[in-house]
Amino acid sequence: MTTPRRALIVIDVQQEYFHGALPVQHPPREESVAAVLRAMDLAAAAGIPTVVVQHESSAGEPAFAPGTPGYALHPEVQARTGRADRHQVKHHSSVFAGTGLADWLAERDVDTVTLVGYMTNNCVLASAADAEPLGLAVEVLADATGAVHLANAAGQVQAEALHTQLLTLLHSHLAAVATAEQWAQAVADGQSIPRSNLVDSARQGTARNVTKDRAPVPDLH
């Protein structure tokens, strides 16, 4: 098996997700940022190119406006940015949209991107989907990402359920999902992280839910 040529993409680990408008609720944000920092330190030690991404909105928007406290990177991520290989500002959900990042990765023969940061339900998901037509394999570190509670006219979902469901979706086709510890072992071994596929995931989902679908109707007489 060919050793993956990885790059670590640290997505939007900004104060907006800690003390601003979008506090991450699951996994606990202090735990997830600790996992992000471990991944950054491991990447630096292993010579894995690291990209620190920072989202920027237009002035006057409710989040990520330059010059506001929420725009700033988390202090521990900021402290590590100097040894990162690229600091990338983005204006869209995907790290690849309008950034030139895909070309930068291609110049370095990267074939696998490891995504950490925020949020699972927005920029991580969008970036993983955008990587597919670029021919990049994707890894998502479950404990180094995070989600928020959502509610709108379409419905509502708690952060833990949203995070779990999206990671399940990603692992079924778009990404290999693992913990930061599992990723560290894969890096040390020079191995890829196994990923499921849509057919197998659907079969397993059907098998686990068939008993519910066939539950007998209780006799009320």
Helix (H) or strand (E) holding 38: helix 29-46
For residues 91, 94, 100 and 102, what is the CA-based torsion angle, rounded to 10 degrees?
Answer: 170
Paired tokens of 150: 């959502």
**Higher pLDDT among residues 214 and 85, named by residue:** 85
Q: Is the pTM of this model over 0.85?
A: yes
What confidence score (pLDDT) does residue 84 get?
Answer: 97
For residue 27, the Cα-to-chain-centroid distance in whole angstroms is: 12
pLDDT above 70 for 13: yes
Can you give the CATH number for the domain in which 35 is found? 3.40.50.850
| Helix extents (H) in 74-213 | 75-81, 101-107, 125-131, 159-169, 180-189, 198-213
Domain range spanning residue 208?
Answer: 6-213
What's the pLDDT tens digit per position in 27-69? Answer: 999 999 999 999 999 999 999 999 999 999 987 789 999 999 9
CA–CA distances in Å: residue 95 to residues 54, 88, 89, 98, 131: 9, 8, 9, 8, 9
Does residue 218 fall inside a structural domain? no
What confidence score (pLDDT) does residue 97 get?
Answer: 97
Which of 99, 94, 151 is CA-nearest to residue 125? 94
What confidence score (pLDDT) does residue 58 get?
Answer: 80
pLDDT band, very low/low/confident/very high, at 1 (cuts 50, 70, 90): low
What confidence score (pLDDT) does residue 169 get?
Answer: 97
pLDDT band, very low/low/confident/very high, at 220 (cuts 50, 70, 90): very low
What's the pLDDT tens digit per position in 160-206? Answer: 999 999 999 999 999 999 999 999 999 999 999 999 999 989 899 89
pLDDT above 60 for 215: no
> How many whole angstroms separate alpha carbon 207 and alpha carbon 213?
10
Does residue 1 fall inside a structural domain? no
Does residue 122 fall inside a structural domain? yes
Does residue 150 fall inside a structural domain? yes
Cβ contacts of residue 140 below 8 Å, gap of 6+? 114, 115, 116, 120, 124, 128, 167, 170, 175, 176, 177, 178
Does residue 113 fall inside a structural domain? yes
Does residue 219 fall inside a structural domain? no
- What single string gives the DSSP state of each residue in 94-130? STTTTT-HHHHHHHTT--EEEEEEE-IIIIIHHHHHH
Does residue 133 fall inside a structural domain? yes
What's the pLDDT tens digit per position in 86-135? Answer: 999 999 999 999 999 999 999 999 999 999 999 999 999 999 999 999 99
